[in-house]
């Protein structure tokens, strides 16, 4: 049936779900509906669109598309990944509690410990690679378990199905930040999670040219709440950003294949270099999360962290790269490299960083989709300077 994409493959859904040819002109691409309001047919009668904080066709297309890719009841697009996470946290009330994977995205940690803590929302941070730690952190007031897998930069892997079971047995919900894997490699709702979070800034948009976030709800009831908060709080994705993200998603399948092929090859190459003390990549057989990752995802992704021993060596690498760019962020077509201790994790106190294993010699790569030979040559010439 035309318009029913459920039975189709991933890339077919990525290109078509949520998108019909424009009813006015037949344009194959969903237009950017740059409008703040909509004319009524007559008093009391409209076409389902009243005011653009609440309804916008470009945003709706993106939301339906991401919901179809993650297999949820509804999608909700926001101005940033953090706005999506802040909206998710409105499920939690004063006096209630959330258990987090330690080492989740730094902005999530900051939001919980410096903003929501002011409203009496409590949080615990545990090594969720061992679910016994999650279980012992549960309290009668625990409303939500929140995991990010794999984590940045240590690539710690959490068993999503196991975490969902724990949450549900406790009467709580499981939310998964799926930014690193994208729905192409990992679909948490199929493994029992209740809500999926993405920073679309990363792989979904994929071209390092917009900031955005989405939530995907498993149930219609949660979806209605997220729509209500979108309307009430207003941190929605703009029509222009929605268009860009939708455009990015059309090539998600081919991009992820190439991101990962480059990621695997770079990880293997780095692991064979005497100057590299250790490589953290879930695709390597000696990675502690390798088996779980293999079971719950169909790929290992494009994020690689490695240890050059000390700050001076890491700095020499970072200052020397030519094809790779020294920058925060990840998931774009260009390969980026960064220094977690002084960049993404600078706000984490040194003793906490040490606890997480984020030493000064660590370097992270987000493998892009350039020619592998150029990336390998760049690794070799930058390592020569170390
Ligand atoms: C970037 C990122 C976020 C935050 O998203 P923004 O779009 O920067 O607000 C959340 N989670 C993960 C895993 C991220 O990488």
In the numeric block, the tokens 């992820």 are attached to 256
pLDDT digits (tens, 9 = 90+) for 40-94: 999 999 999 999 999 999 999 999 999 999 999 999 999 999 999 999 999 999 9
The domain tally of the chain equals 2
Q: Is the pLDDT of residue 4 over 80?
A: no
Mutate to test the pocket of ligand 1, among 81, 212, 329 (most ligand atoms within 8 A of CB): 81
Give the C-alpha separation, 386 to 367, whole Å.
Answer: 20
Boundary of a domain, candidates 249, 279, 302: 249
pTM equals: 0.97
Residue 121 Cβ contacting ligand 1 at under 6 Å: no
pLDDT digits (tens, 9 = 90+) for 29-41: 999 999 999 999 9
> Do 94 and 218 belong to one domain?
yes
Give the C-alpha separation, 198 to 177, whole Å.
Answer: 6
Please give the distance, rounded to the nearest whole angstrom, from the Cα atom of residue 47 to the centre of ligand 1: 35
> Do 266 and 150 belong to one domain?
no
Residue 5 confidence class, pLDDT cut points 50, 70, 90: confident
Mean pLDDT of 268-293: 98
> Do 173 and 190 belong to one domain?
yes
> Do 175 and 314 belong to one domain?
no
For 37-49, b/e burial (b = at least 16 CB within 10 A) is: ebeeeeeeeeeeb
DSSP string, 187-230: -GGGGT-SEEEEETTTTTT-SS----EEEEESSHHHHHHHHHHH
Residue 3 confidence class, pLDDT cut points 50, 70, 90: low
> Do 191 and 44 belong to one domain?
yes
- In which domain, by residue range, is 314 found? 253-383
> Do 135 and 217 belong to one domain?
yes
Q: Whose CA is nearest to atom 6 of ligand 1?
A: 81
In the numeric block, the tokens 């990752």 are attached to 293
Q: What is the structure's pLDDT at 6?
A: 82
Mean pLDDT of 227-254: 98
Mean pLDDT of 229-241: 98
Residue 215 confidence class, pLDDT cut points 50, 70, 90: very high
**3 in a domain, yes or no?**
no
Mean pLDDT of 267-277: 98
């Amino acid at each position: 049936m035309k318009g029913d994409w459920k039975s189709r493959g991933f890339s077919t859904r990525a290109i078509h779900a949520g998108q019909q040819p424009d009813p006015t002109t037949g344009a194959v691409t969903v237009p950017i509906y740059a409008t703040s309001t909509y004319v009524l047919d007559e008093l009391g009668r409209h076409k389902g669109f009243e005011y653009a904080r609440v309804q916008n066709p470009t945003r709706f297309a993106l939301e339906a598309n991401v919901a179809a890719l993650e297999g949820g009841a509804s999608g909700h697009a926001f101005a940033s990944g953090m706005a999506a996470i802040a909206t998710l946290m409105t499920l939690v009330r004063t006096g209630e509690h959330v258990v987090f994977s330690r080492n989740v995205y730094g902005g999530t940690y900051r939001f919980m410990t410096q903003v929501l803590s002011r409203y009496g929302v409590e949080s615990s941070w545990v090594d969720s690679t061992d679910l016994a730690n999650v279980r012992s952190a549960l309290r009668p007031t625990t409303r939500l378990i929140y995991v990010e897998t794999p984590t940045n930069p240590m690539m710690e892997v959490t068993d999503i199905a196991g975490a969902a079971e724990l949450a549900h047995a406790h009467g709580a919900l499981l939310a998964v930040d799926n930014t690193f894997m994208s729905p192409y490699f990992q679909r948490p709702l199929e493994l029992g999670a209740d809500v999926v979070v993405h920073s679309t800034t990363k792989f979904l948009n994929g071209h390092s040219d917009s900031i955005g976030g989405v939530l995907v709800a498993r149930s219609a009831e949660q979806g209605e709440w997220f729509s209500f908060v979108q309307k009430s709080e207003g941190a929605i994705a703009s029509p222009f950003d929605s268009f860009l993200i939708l455009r990015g998603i059309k090539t998600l399948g081919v991009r992820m294949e190439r991101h990962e092929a480059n990621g695997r090859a770079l990880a293997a190459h780095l692991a064979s270099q005497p100057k590299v003390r250790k490589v953290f990549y879930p695709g390597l057989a000696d990675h502690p999360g390798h088996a779980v990752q293999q079971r719950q995802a169909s790929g290992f992704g494009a994020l690689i962290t490695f240890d050059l021993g000390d700050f001076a060596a890491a700095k020499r690498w970072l200052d020397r790269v030519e094809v790779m760019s020294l920058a925060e962020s990840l998931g774009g077509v260009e390969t980026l490299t960064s220094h977690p201790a002084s960049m993404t994790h600078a706000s984490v106190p040194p003793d906490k960083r040490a606890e997480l294993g984020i030493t000064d010699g660590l370097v992270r790569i987000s493998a892009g989709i350039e020619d592998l030979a150029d990336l390998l040559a760049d690794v070799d010439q930058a390592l020569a300077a170390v």
